[in-house]
């Protein structure tokens, strides 16, 4: 994020994680795992907003 902010204004920067939420019959995801991933994503967003505004 810090390296990207040297070139892109924060208002134009969008982070898109490769979260692995693509469930299938080969790779099913259980509810608890999905919840923890979403919680981590929210925590990261909160941290970045606190740090960079």
First to last CA, the chain: 13
Q: How far apart are CA 2 and CA 8, in angstroms?
A: 10
> How many of the other CB atoms lie within 10 Å of CB of 29?
13
What's the pLDDT band for 34 if we cut at 50, 70, 90?
A: confident
What pLDDT, on a 0 to 100 scale, did the predictor assign at position 23? 65
Inside any domain, residue 15:
no
Inside any domain, residue 14:
no
Say what the pTM is.
Answer: 0.67
Inside any domain, residue 31:
yes
Inside any domain, residue 52:
yes
pLDDT at 5 over 70: yes
Q: Sign of torsion, CA 51 53 19 23?
A: positive
Inside any domain, residue 47:
yes
pLDDT at 31 over 80: yes
């Amino acid at each position: 994020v810090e390296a990207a902010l040297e070139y892109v204004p924060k208002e134009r920067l969008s982070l898109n994680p490769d979260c692995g939420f693509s469930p299938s019959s080969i790779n099913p995801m259980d509810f608890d795992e999905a919840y923890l991933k979403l919680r981590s994503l929210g925590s990261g967003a909160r941290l970045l907003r606190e740090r960079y505004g």
